[in-house]
């Protein structure tokens, strides 16, 4: 028995690639703006090495600078992560030509916004272009990233976008807005 692919009803389908592109760019722009705004608030409010405790200690605001990737992996190789973010963003823009699904456009917009938010830091923050350190300021369960690495809005958006893309793929939602369904009779295994 084989699994037959048959597109069924629309699954978050938008009318055109242009509309999907607009969803992607809007999501990315919102994430970049929110990320840079909150990073500036963190720089202004936490520059004196203070830590702010929120929600009974569930979240701490604690300023940190990261020259590496997630979990401070690759510290000292910021230029590589700069190039990776540029390549990912270009790839997403190229890939979006096929997208007609607003959930896929949203997922890709979150990924691109997260990559671009941290790219802005790598390009324009100290110690200089392609070597800039990413501003992180959200720590969960304990201050200073004691229980989980410190992160920022861009990191959160990137993570949510990747999880959403994986879920869409696992649930067989195609990028064109259709869904793949199993056409086997229910008695076949």
The catalytic residue positions are 136, 155
| DSSP class of 97 | G
Token code pair at residue 150: 């410190």
How far apart are alpha carbons 5 and 174 in whole angstroms? 11
**102, 164 in Cβ contact below 8 A?**
no
The set of long-range contacts for 52-57, using a CB threshold of 8 Å and a minimum separation of 24, is 53/143, 57/141, 57/142
What value, to the nearest 5°, has the Cα angle with vertex 123 and ends 119 and 125? 105
- DSSP character string of 7-53: E-S-SSB-S-HHHHHHHHHHHHHHHHHHHHHHHHHHHHHHTTS-EEE
Q: How many CA atoms lie within 13 A of 41 on its CB side?
A: 12
**102, 20 in Cβ contact below 8 A?**
yes
Token code pair at residue 20: 């999907």
């Amino acid at each position: 028995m084989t699994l037959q692919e048959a597109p069924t009803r629309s699954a978050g389908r938008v009318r055109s690639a242009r509309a999907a592109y607009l969803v992607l760019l809007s999501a990315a722009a919102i994430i970049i703006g929110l990320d840079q705004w909150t990073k500036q608030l963190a720089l202004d409010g936490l520059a004196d090495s203070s830590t702010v405790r929120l929600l009974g200690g569930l979240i701490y605001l604690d300023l940190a600078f990261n020259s590496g990737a997630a979990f401070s992996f690759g510290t000292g190789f910021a230029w590589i992560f700069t190039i990776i973010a540029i390549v990912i963003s270009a790839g997403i823009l190229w890939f979006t030509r096929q997208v007609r699904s607003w959930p896929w456009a949203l997922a890709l917009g979150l990924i691109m916004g997260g990559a671009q938010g941290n790219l802005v830091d790598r390009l324009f923050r100290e110690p200089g272009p392609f070597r800039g350190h990413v501003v992180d300021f959200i720590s969960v369960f304990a201050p200073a990233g004691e229980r989980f690495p410190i992160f920022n809005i861009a990191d959160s958006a990137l993570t949510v976008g990747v999880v959403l893309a994986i879920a869409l793929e696992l649930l067989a939602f195609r990028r064109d807005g259709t869904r793949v369904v199993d056409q086997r009779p229910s008695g076949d295994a």
